[in-house]
Chains A and B, each alone.
Chain A
Amino acid sequence: AQTVTQSQPEMSVQEAETVTLSCTYDTSESDYYLFWYKQPPSRQMILVIRQEAYKQQNATENRFSVNFQKAAKSFSLKISDSQLGDAAMYFCAYRDRDDKIIFGKGTRLHILP
């Protein structure tokens, strides 16, 4: 069974600095999709960024980018120019060919003013 591991339960970053959240996954498949979701205190789940495994180019969305290393099964999220509104829980997710979507345990990100 696929698993998603987020090894950093909590992280802190100074406002305007850059932070990287790590995510690794275990799979025997070659075709899958990866996602980062953000959950602020409102409990709403918000898609941050997504990556198709067949694409070598790393996805970017404004201040958010990923470092996708398929061979290493790693999918880290980089947040540049951190803002107070970035404070949230961040979840890495994996979608397999059977459409099962598995989430990691999350990383709580604190932004220090």
Chain B
Amino acid sequence: NAGVTQTPKFQVLKTGQSMTLQCAQDMNHEYMSWYRQDPGMGLRLIHYSVGAGITDQGEVPNGYNVSRSTTEDFPLRLLSAAPSQTSVYFCASSYQGGRNEKLFFGSGTQLSVL
């Protein structure tokens, strides 16, 4: 099983460029989310989704857009990259049967914005 797949694993952008971080899961999980991890800041929730067609903002949504057109995919879009968005990004998913379900994480995307 592939689990949660994030692409790319590494990316370097110039300030002002746009890009999409891809996240796909093959476990039929309704719940998907995006986090960014910065040194000393832990994981901060960017956006999350409890099912196709439903998205909601997390703790740090500014500068990021998401959509959830299918159960499997939850892309994260940076419309105009800024150096403050340099971070490691994690996508995570879980079964929505109960709120004690664990999160399955992707392997992360290391993003540098110059």
Q: How far is the CA of A6 from the CA of B107 in the complex (A)?
A: 24
Q: Which residue of B lies closest to A97 (CB)?
A: B99
B31–A99 CB distance below 8 A: yes
Q: Which residue of B lies closest to A55 (CB)?
A: B100
Q: How far is the CA of A35 from the CA of B101 in the complex (A)?
A: 10
Interface residues as binary, B33-77 with A (CB distance below 8 Å gives 1, 0 otherwise): 101000011111100101000001011000000000000000000
Contacts of A32 in B (CB 8 A): 99
Contacts of A1 in B (CB 8 A): 59
B106 to A: closest C-beta gap in Å: 9
* Interface residues contributed by chain A, number (CB under 8 Å): 25
**Binding site secondary structure of chain B:** strand
Choose one: B45, B88, B96, B108; the contact of A101 (CB below 8 Å).
B45
A104–B42 CB distance below 8 A: yes
Within 8 A of B (CB), among A59-113: 91, 95, 97-106
Contacts of A9 in B (CB 8 A): 40
Given contacts A99-B31, A99-B48, contact A43 B102 (CB under 8 A): no
Choose one: A6, A43, A102, A105; the contact of B88 (CB below 8 Å).
A43
Q: Which residue of B lies closest to A102 (CB)?
A: B45
A44 is an interface residue with CB less than 8 A from chain B: yes
B79 is an interface residue with CB less than 8 A from chain A: no
A52 is an interface residue with CB less than 8 A from chain B: yes
Q: List 6 A-B contacts (CB under 8 A).
A: A33-B100, A43-B88, A44-B105, A52-B100, A95-B100, A103-B42
B binding-site residues for A, Cβ under 8 Å: 31, 33, 35, 40-45, 48, 50, 56, 58-59, 88, 90, 92, 96, 99-100, 102-103, 105, 107-108
